[in-house]
Structure 1
C-alpha cells in the first residue's frame, strides 16, 4: 500500500484511530430482515426497526440538539441489502438533507452487486462486507442458516451461494469505485486457520482494508468455541497482513452496531417524546398488553405525563374503521398528532411508512403496556417478555 493510501486510512472517519476518538457516528436501524445467522449467536431479540423517514427525523433531532454527527451508517438490525429499499431510501434522504455527511453500510454481501452502482452514485464513503469464510465447507460449519433469496435452500447449497455472492459483491463494489472493508470474526477452531486465505482472496478481488474481530461467546450461545485470545489474534493478524492492510486493533463497525456512537453521548434507539408530541398511543384488546394488530384496531389508549412527570392514561380515542386504504392512516395520524409513538403487536409496512412520514413512529412489541410506556418515558426497563422489532 502506498504512503498516500495509508494516510487516507489513518484519517478516515471510520478507519483511523485518531478520527474515531473525535468523530460522531450514527447507526440507523432501518434494515428489517436478516439473511443469515451464525451458529454461535446469542438469543437477544432484535432492536426496533425504523422507517427511513423516522431515521432521518432522528438524525435531524440530534443535529438540532448540537450533535456532532459526521458519519451515518446502516448496520442493522438485519442486513441492509436483504431488503435493499429501506436502506437505500434512508441513504438518499440523508444525502439530500446533509450533502456533506459521510455514509457507510455493513452487509453480508448478498444482493450487493445489484446495488453497487447506486451506492457509488450516492457517494457512500465505504461498504463493510462481513466475510468469515471463502470456502463453502468452512461457511457451512459457521452458519446455522443462510437465506440467499426469498426461498429457503439447504445449508450446503446456501453456503456455496454465500461465498460466491460475496466475491461477486466485492468485485462489483470495487468496479463501482467504492472503498471496501472486510470484517472477519475469528472463531478459534472454526475459521482461525482460514483467515489468511480470506485475506488473500479478498485482496485479490480488490478489497482495501480488513478488520479482524475476536470472537467472544454470548450468553445463551450453544456449543460456541472459546473466545479468541490475544496470542491467537496476533498470529492471525500477522498472517493476514501479508496480503491486505489490517485495521488497528480497536472496536470495529459491525452488523450489531445500532444507535449512536459518539465521543460525548449515547442515545437509545427508542423514540423520544417532544414538546409537540409528548404522548404514547397503544392498541390493545385487554388494556393490559400490547396485543392487537394495528390493522384491526378501532380504538387507541393514549398515555402522557402528568404533573409529577409520571405517565398515566389520558383517555381513549376512536380510530378510523378498517378498509379505507392510505386515507385511514392519514386520518389516524391526525387523530394521534400529539403522540410520538404508537405501540402495536403487529403492523404492515404501508401504514408504518405513511405514519412515519407524518411524524408518528410505530413500535411493534408484545410487552405489557405499563412497563413499555414507563420505559418510553425513561422510567425503567421493559419486562423480559417484551420483544421489539
Structure 2
C-alpha cells in the first residue's frame, strides 16, 4: 500500500531534519537537454523513462513498503523541454496517488506558459536553476543553450534563458506554486553576481534559495580554477541571505531515491530502485545474442530468454520466446506485450522510446543495461551481487 509520509511543519526537501528521515524519489522522464554548463563533464547517456514506466517505478517503491515524502520530476534533460511527457507523468501520478506531494526542477526555458497546468496538478514547489540574471554572466557559464529546436548564437540564447527564467519564476509564483531557486557558484564567473541573483528572484517572489559550490572532478583541468573555496562561499551566502531565506549549506537533492537507505544492489547497473514480480507477472525477459550477456537492442532481438522462479523460488532459465517480426510500427510492440504477458521486466542493451512506452503501459518495464544476464536476473529476484555490470545504465 502506498504510504505518503508527511511531517507537520517540515518540508521533506527544505527541512534538514525531514531530509534525513523522509524518502524522496526523482522520476527522470525528460529526454532532451536545453543547455549545457561549460565546465560539465561528459554525459553518461542516461535514458529517460516514458510516463508509464515512471509510474511503474513509483508503484514498485511503494510496493516495497517505502515511505515517500515527495516525488520530483527531474532529469536527465529538462522537464519543460518536453512538457507533454512531463505533464502526462504528473497526471498519472496525481490520479493514482492524489495526496502525494510533487515537485519539478527546470532551468525555466519555455516554462512560464505551463504554470497554470502545473498549478492545477497541485505541485508542492518548483525548483528553478538560476546561475545568473545578467546574460553576459550567463555566457561565461554555458557552453550552449538551445531553446526548442532553434539554434541561437550564445549571446542571444543567454539573453533568452535569463528572460525565460525570470518570467517562469513570476508565472509560477502568480499561479500559487512556491518557488525554490538553485544557484551554483563558479569561481571567476558569477561569485560576485550571486547578490544580484538573490535580490532579483526575491523580488519576483521566490520562497527559498540554495547556493551551492560548483564541484569539479578532482584532477580535471578546471578543478582549482572554477571550484570556489570556503571563503568565497561564506561571502556569497552572506550576501544572498540578506534578500532570501537560504537552504542549509551543503544540503543537496539527488537524482534517485534519497533520504532512506535501500538494500537494492546497483552492481549490475540496473539503478537503485527495481521493479518486482507482481500478480501473474513473475518472469523476466532478456535480449541476448550470446545467451550470457544482455547484448542486444530491443529492436534487434529475434527472440528473448525467459527467466522465472523454480518451485523453490530461485530463478532459472525457463526457455525462449520468439520476437514479433520487424515492421508493423507500434503493433509490433503490442504483440510483444502479449507474448511477454507473464513478464514484469525486459532487459535489453538498448530500447527506443516508443516500445518502452507501449510495453510500460502493459506493465512491462524496460531496463537498459549491458550486464551479465544471470547476475541481473538474480538481483531482480532479490539475490546478491552476482553479476558484474560494465557501467550499465537505465
| CA RMSD, 1 decimal | 2.9
Which string of whole-angstrom CA distances, capped at 9 and with x for unpartnered residues, describes residues 91-135 of structure 1?
111111121111101111112112111110111010000111112
Cross-structure match for 1:242: 242
**Cα distance, 1:343–1:151 mapped onto 2, change above 3 Å:** farther
Once residues 375 and 43 of structure 2 are traced to their aligned partners in structure 1, the CA distance between those partners, rounded to angstroms, is 19
Contact 1:106 1:129 in 2 (8 A): yes
Q: Residue 30 of structure 1 aligns to a residue in which SS?
A: coil
> How many pairs does the alignment contain?
378
How far apart are 1:25 and its partner, in Å?
A: 1.6
Once residues 284 and 62 of structure 1 are traced to their aligned partners in structure 2, the CA distance between those partners, rounded to angstroms, is 28
Once residues 104 and 115 of structure 1 are traced to their aligned partners in structure 2, the CA distance between those partners, rounded to angstroms, is 14
| More deviation, 159-168/361-370 | 361-370
How far apart are 1:312 and its partner, in Å?
A: 5.3
How far apart are 1:211 and its partner, in Å?
A: 0.7
**Cα distance, 1:66–1:291 mapped onto 2, change above 3 Å:** closer
Taking structure 2 as the reference length, what is the TM-score of the superposition? 0.85
| More deviation, 195-204/34-43 | 34-43
Taking structure 1 as the reference length, what is the TM-score of the superposition? 0.86
Cross-structure match for 1:297: 301
Matches within 5 A, 1:208-247: 208-218=207-217, 221-224=220-223, 225-247=225-247
Q: Which runs of 5+ in 2 are unaligned?
A: 1-6, 265-270
Q: Residue 167 of structure 1 aligns to a residue in which SS?
A: helix
The answer on 1:327 being equivalent to 2:331 is yes
How far apart are 1:288 and its partner, in Å?
A: 5.8
Cross-structure match for 1:364: 368
Once residues 385 and 47 of structure 2 are traced to their aligned partners in structure 1, the CA distance between those partners, rounded to angstroms, is 19
Once residues 327 and 134 of structure 1 are traced to their aligned partners in structure 2, the CA distance between those partners, rounded to angstroms, is 49
Q: Which runs of 5+ in 1 are unaligned?
A: 1-7
Matches within 5 A, 1:160-309: 160-218=159-217, 221-224=220-223, 225-253=225-253, 257-265=254-262, 268-274=271-277, 276-287=280-291, 290-304=294-308
Which string of whole-angstrom CA distances, capped at 9 and with x for unpartnered residues, describes residues 346-377 of structure 1?
43322211100111112234556566556656
Contact 1:271 1:340 in 2 (8 A): no
Once residues 283 and 26 of structure 2 are traced to their aligned partners in structure 1, the CA distance between those partners, rounded to angstroms, is 26
Contact 2:374 2:387 in 1 (8 A): no
Once residues 19 and 270 of structure 1 are traced to their aligned partners in structure 2, the CA distance between those partners, rounded to angstroms, is 21
How far apart are 1:379 and its partner, in Å?
A: 2.4
Once residues 54 and 106 of structure 1 are traced to their aligned partners in structure 2, the CA distance between those partners, rounded to angstroms, is 19
Once residues 164 and 76 of structure 2 are traced to their aligned partners in structure 1, the CA distance between those partners, rounded to angstroms, is 21
Contact 2:372 2:387 in 1 (8 A): no
Cross-structure match for 1:379: 385
Contact 2:31 2:77 in 1 (8 A): yes
